[in-house]
Amino acid sequence: MTAVTLDEVQQRSVGGHTRWVRLSHWFLAASVLTLAVSGFVILMAHPRLYWGPVGNDLTPALFELPISRNYKHGGWAAPVTFVAGSNPIVSQARTYDIFNENGWARSLHFLAAWFLVVTALIYLAAGLLGGHLRRHLIPGIRELSPRLLWHDVIAHTHLPMPRARGGPPYGTLQKITYFGVVFLVLPLIVVTGLTMSPAVTAAYPVLLDLFGGSQSARTIHFLAFAALVLFLIVHVAMVVLTGFKSHMRAMTLGE
Amino acid sequence: MKKDNIALTRRKLITGLASTGGALLAGCSSKELPPTYGNVLRMGDLLTYRTFRMLLPAQSLAREYAHGDISSSPAVGNTNPADSQQPTFNADRGPLYDRLRTGDFADWRLRVEGRVARPASFSLADLKRMPARTQITKHTCEEGWSAIAQWTGVSLRTVLDAAGILPSARFVNYYAFDDIAEGIDMLDALHPQTILAYGMNGRDLPLAHGAPLRMRVETQLGYKSVKFLERIVVTDEFDDLGKIGSLQNGWAWYVGI
């Protein structure tokens, strides 16, 4: 393959990242941060996670997070029993005044989600057409040999880390990580988010079967968010450890 | 799962298409869509509403579950309109609700008015004489939890037909005995699973779940399924319902998401 794309021409002449990568990077960064903060506020209203189609304060949780005063809150009126027995079906009126900022948090979450989805689609289209995804993000077969991978892992354990020039070509672990975020975590987080929507799941009930119910989808949505936060921490740490200034120049000015 | 009443009559289809199709046209007047008040969050809500109406197939049915899937259901928000300690208590309708409830709702009436040919009021017995629909569906609360319950009631469409919706009608707003009101567009109002429920899990609707009658909108979040219904008003233009509506309290009007 000797075809030279526009991306490569720019890369060779100025280094750093191409303009559309820089723009989409910061749009995505702003969207993800807004989604993380608003999503956390939404989770604070009901910090219990479940598996299956349903889950509420009167059914068992998979796990609970001590992130707001709603954590294991009391304040429930005496139960009204619909079906008695070993596995009773009851109703209880809530008398506790919960923390709930979902009025703005939900709308902000979906607004940021629109920015994320639109930017990600432009990024994917440009990445496919310009060859960025194929040449820089998808690891080659030879790169994936256990020996080379192990070598790359060891290289990441030595401090201080060698300075890196901002922009591609990326190391194999770096490629795998970016590939995982772009093609696995972000799509998963969007689709599980939509699986919580009553209108979307009415139109496409297959989503409920795919994730085992909307509460399972909510739990996967949260775990994908946790994975994304872990990525952000490592990503920023690597930027700092391998030359903060040159990376920032590469991702802002493209130098 | 009941699928017998999905087919729309031609008139209803035209009414539905006129209201939603009109709302999607670029040049339509602002009174045909929820206002944004220049608020960027409300603009995002509007984008979601218009995109859902444009991309999602109209009137697909929400999943219906088996009897064994019924779960326990928390009752949140106002659990008794007669309780003056509740933040949405209304000083006029609260005591009235208390009197009606003492009389087992025998004197309770649901008023249907606005853009209808024959404004009417229905007793609980009137509603129970109409064709009933029972559905086991999932209630999704904006807080993040959900519950599956069996709801029995009369299709909102049946009641609107009895009053005769006028062709220009675009929205259906409904008011509770406390200071709560909500509204939906004609597409959700005519949805086969949008019912006025008087029964829950095989018994009369319990007090905390909205006795004697509540709305069930299965394609939107729980707060559109208003409890303790008092009145239904059909309108041509969008009404933000003032201080008792969700919009002026900072909540999205369309919550299919």
Is A156 inside a domain boundary? yes
Hey, of B20, B43, B54, B63, which one would you mutate to test binding to chain A, going by the most A CBs within 10 A of its CB?
A: B63
How confident is the model over B68-87, as a mean pLDDT?
97
Instruction: Tell me the pLDDT tens digit for each residue of B22-46.
Output: 444 444 456 889 999 999 999 999 9
SS3 annotation, chain A: CCCCCHHHHHHHHHCCCCHHHHHHHHHHHHHHHHHHHHHHHHHHHCCEECCCCCECCCCCCCEECCCCCCCCCCCECCCEEEECCCCCEEEEEECCCCCCCHHHHHHHHHHHHHHHHHHHHHHHHHHHHHCHHHHHHCCCCHHHCHHHHHHHHHHCCCCCCCCCCCCCCCCHHHHHHHHHHHHHHHHHHHHHHHCCCHHHHHHCCHHHHHHCCHHHHHHHHHHHHHHHHHHHHHHHHHHHHCCHHHHHHHHHCCC
CA distance B121 to chain A (A): 30
Is A73 inside a domain boundary? no
List CB contacts (< 8 A) between B251 and chain A: 102-103
C-alpha triplet A252, A185, A63: angle, nearest 5°: 125
Hey, of B51, B54, B143, B194, which one would you mutate to test binding to chain A, going by the most A CBs within 10 A of its CB?
A: B143
Q: In chain B, what are the domains?
A: 10-249 (3.90.420)
C-alpha A137/C-alpha A180 separation (Å) is 10
Residue A210 contacts B, CB cutoff 8 Å: no
pLDDT above 50: residue B6? no
Q: Which of residues 50-89 of A touch B (CB under 8 A)?
A: 53-59, 76-77, 80, 82-83, 88-89
Is A218 inside a domain boundary? yes
In this prediction, residue A15 carries a pLDDT of 61
Residue A5 contacts B, CB cutoff 8 Å: no
Is B146–A88 a contact, with Cβ atoms under 8 angstroms apart? no
Is A223 inside a domain boundary? yes
Is B146–A56 a contact, with Cβ atoms under 8 angstroms apart? yes
Q: Which of residues 148-187 of B touch A (CB under 8 A)?
A: 148
- Residue B31 tokens read as 């009174």
Instruction: Tell me the pLDDT tens digit for each residue of B199-236.
Output: 999 999 999 999 999 999 999 999 999 999 999 999 99
Hey, of B55, B73, B188, B255, which one would you mutate to test binding to chain A, going by the most A CBs within 10 A of its CB?
A: B73
For chain B, counts of helices (H) and of strands (E): 6, 11
What CATH number did the domain enclosing A169 receive?
1.20.950.20
Is A148 inside a domain boundary? yes
Q: Which domain holds residue A111?
A: 6-37+101-252
Residue A221 contacts B, CB cutoff 8 Å: no
Closest B-chain CA to A115: B44
Is A63 inside a domain boundary? no
Is A91–B72 a contact, with Cβ atoms under 8 angstroms apart? yes
Is A168 inside a domain boundary? yes
CA distance A203 to chain B (A): 5
C-alpha B242/C-alpha A22 separation (Å) is 44
Picking from A54-68, A132-146, B8-22, B187-201, which range would have the lowest pLDDT averaged per residue? B8-22
Is A231 inside a domain boundary? yes
In this prediction, residue A155 carries a pLDDT of 87
What's the total number of domains in chain A?
Answer: 1
How confident is the model over B122-128, as a mean pLDDT?
98
Instruction: Tell me the pLDDT tens digit for each residue of A4-62.
Output: 555 554 444 446 899 999 999 999 999 999 999 999 999 999 999 999 999 999 999 99
Instruction: Tell me the pLDDT tens digit for each residue of A61-97.
Output: 999 999 999 999 999 999 999 999 888 999 999 999 9
pLDDT above 60: residue B1? no
